[in-house]
Amino acid sequence: MTGSAPNPQGDPRVADVRARLAAAQAASASAPEKAQAKLDAQGKIYVRDRIALLFDEGSFVEDGRYANALQPGLPADGVVTGRGTVDGRAAIVIANDPTVKAGSWGARTVEKIVRATETALREELPVFWFVDSAGARITDQVEMFPGRRGAGRIFHNQVALSGKVPQICCLFGPSAAGGAYIPSFCDLIIMVEGNASMYLGSPRMAEMVVGEKVSLEEMGGARMHCTVSGVGDLLAHDDAEAIELAKLYFSYVPGSWRDHPPTYAAEEPATPLTPATVPERESVPFDVHEVIDGLVDDDSFFELKPLWAGELVIGFGRLEGQTVGIVANNSMVKGGVLFTDSADKAARFIWLCDAFNIPLVYLADVPGFMIGSEVERGGIIRHGAKMVSAVSSATVPQFCVIVRKAYGAGLYAMGGPGFGPDATIALPTARIAVMGPEAAVNAVYANKIAEIADPAEQARFVADRRREYEEDVDIERLAADLVLDSIIEADELRSDLVRRLAYASRRDRHFSERRRAVPPV
């Protein structure tokens, strides 16, 4: 509130209200000196300055600023909520204030968050979650925890928002106990290294309950979650970078499920694809980022989960200014074999693209799913089925590009012909089969090979059988049998996909008549 000179004819009670409201507003306008010093020591930005970095200047409208104003030391009750525009597009922000009791939740905090999510549901507005909270205030648990408008309602509303609008989380500090579920229900989690953490039980609690001694970083630190658990999507160096990444991600997605992603001016790739980009021998590993960068507009690839399950690369790119989702096997990491983590990584990304009208391009160079007792005990079949379920049920335009090998169920997981892609395209380096020639010959002729004593004769026999197998799955034969829609050189791939995308935009989005699937999760 702006100050004004006292009115000699005014009502003292109104003057008192104005004075108290001005004090309440000033209390949350900036961090107290001691709190600001702590923020500076941690390399953090004050909550209102974070919001200023997110929204266009002058666009923010705040709700509930005087929450709990009658209680000293609880300005805005520790959370700032409201609406603004991000590059001209409306959005809601829910931002914890770590200078107010470590960003913990009281009854009014929860009510503000519930109201903000209800607004997002009602108006179908995207939500930016700025999380930096120690969790619930135990002293307020009866008021904020169990009831119909308690903390559980936040998670209920987040689930209702999922796939309806983007939910983007910047995790600047802790997200403890039940509060850790807020990031988990978001589409994107950006964690600030050194400050951000997520955990259901603190290291102290873990020591008390299960006798485990562990550091906070080991338990739930940013790097752990972005490299080991896969809960985090991106690591940021500081608050400002986290917010910049959040805004960049937002530029690839629509404001709601009813819309299409923004389009931008087309740019040529930095280094266009050539027939030499992909090594012709399938045993030679190469970085699939070279194919992606040669396919999409210059500097437009936005990779997600780059530090986790690197055998599969996912992210957004632009083809002639239009957003597409990329799912690509990377032979440089574990030979591009699919594991449980990479299957999960792919499935959720495919669901995300399907929810927000983003076409999918699969770049297949996959020997299949991993085998062995360890992965079987880890549920590789269940996780693989999850990925195949996601591919099957996606109704956005999908294009399967066989870059090199696509063996076994790997072909299915990468959107192969049996899953109704808008096109299955192969490069001349492509091979499609149940398994590779060497493995196939050994599987079928193992006993016969063992019976041949002469090494030279054995080598000739194996070479002959491999030649027969390769002729059987010859790429031209597959095109002749209409397994493939097209075989083109790498330098034609971008223009071919751009044309196909334009035609596929009119495809029917219906998949199946039912209440819902029962996915193998």
* Neighbouring residues of 239: CB distance < 8 A, sequence distance ≥ 6: 43, 44, 45, 50, 53, 170, 172, 192
What DSSP string describes 352-393?
HHHHTT--EEEEEEE--B--SHHHHHTTHHHHHHHHHHHHHH
pLDDT at 1: 59
Q: What are phi and psi of 45, to 5 degrees?
A: -110, 145
**DSSP E strand boundaries for 177-219:** 188-192, 197-199
Percent of the chain with pLDDT over 70: 99
Count of alpha carbons within 13 angstroms of residue 519, beta-carbon side: 16
**Per-residue pLDDT band at 273 (split at 50, 70, 90):** very high
pLDDT at 8: 74
Average pLDDT value over all residues in the chain: 94
Does residue 84 contact residue 56 with C-beta atoms inside 8 Å? yes
283 or 56, greater pLDDT: 56
Per-residue model confidence as pLDDT tens digits over 416-425: 999 999 999 9
Q: What is the reported pTM?
A: 0.94
Residue among 195, 165, 206 nearest 357 (CA): 165
415 or 441, greater pLDDT: 415
Check pLDDT > 90 for residue 116.
yes
Mean pLDDT confidence for 17-42 = 92
Tell me the C-alpha distance between 196 and 175, whole Å: 8
Mean pLDDT confidence for 41-63 = 98
pLDDT at 24: 87
pLDDT at 6: 67
Lowest mean pLDDT among 234-243, 349-358, 363-372, 447-456: 447-456
**Per-residue pLDDT band at 300 (split at 50, 70, 90):** very high
Lowest mean pLDDT among 39-43, 381-385, 471-475: 471-475
**Per-residue pLDDT band at 464 (split at 50, 70, 90):** confident
Check pLDDT > 90 for residue 111.
yes
Does residue 420 contact residue 400 with C-beta atoms inside 8 Å? no
pLDDT at 10: 84
* Neighbouring residues of 334: CB distance < 8 A, sequence distance ≥ 6: 310, 311
Alpha helix ranges (H) inside 124-215: 141-144, 151-161, 181-184, 203-210
Beta bridge partners of 478: none
pLDDT at 504: 93
**Per-residue pLDDT band at 30 (split at 50, 70, 90):** very high
Q: Which amino acid is at 446?
A: A
Does residue 270 contact residue 296 with C-beta atoms inside 8 Å? no
Per-residue model confidence as pLDDT tens digits over 346-397: 999 999 999 999 999 999 999 999 999 999 999 999 999 999 999 999 999 9
Pair of tokens at residue 402: 């066989």
Per-residue model confidence as pLDDT tens digits over 477-493: 999 999 999 999 999 99
Check pLDDT > 60 for residue 448.
yes
Return the exposure string of 110-147: e unless at least 16 CB atoms fall within 10 Å of the residue's CB, then b: bbbbbbbbebbbeebbbbbbbbbbbbbbeebeeebbee
Check pLDDT > 70 for residue 5.
no
Helix (H, G, I), strand (E, B) or coil at 163: coil
Long-range contacts of 122-126 (CB under 8 A, 24+ apart): 124/164, 124/165, 124/255, 124/256, 124/257, 124/258, 125/83, 125/90, 125/91, 125/92, 125/165, 125/255, 125/256, 126/89, 126/91, 126/92, 126/165, 126/166, 126/167, 126/168, 126/250, 126/253, 126/255, 126/256
Tell me the C-alpha distance between 407 and 367, whole Å: 5
Mean pLDDT confidence for 102-131 = 96
Check pLDDT > 90 for residue 193.
yes
Tell me the C-alpha distance between 311 and 328, whole Å: 9
Helix (H, G, I), strand (E, B) or coil at 38: helix
Mean pLDDT confidence for 44-48 = 97
Pair of tokens at residue 218: 């080991």
Per-residue model confidence as pLDDT tens digits over 152-186: 999 999 999 999 999 999 999 999 877 889 999 99
pLDDT at 311: 98
pLDDT at 265: 97
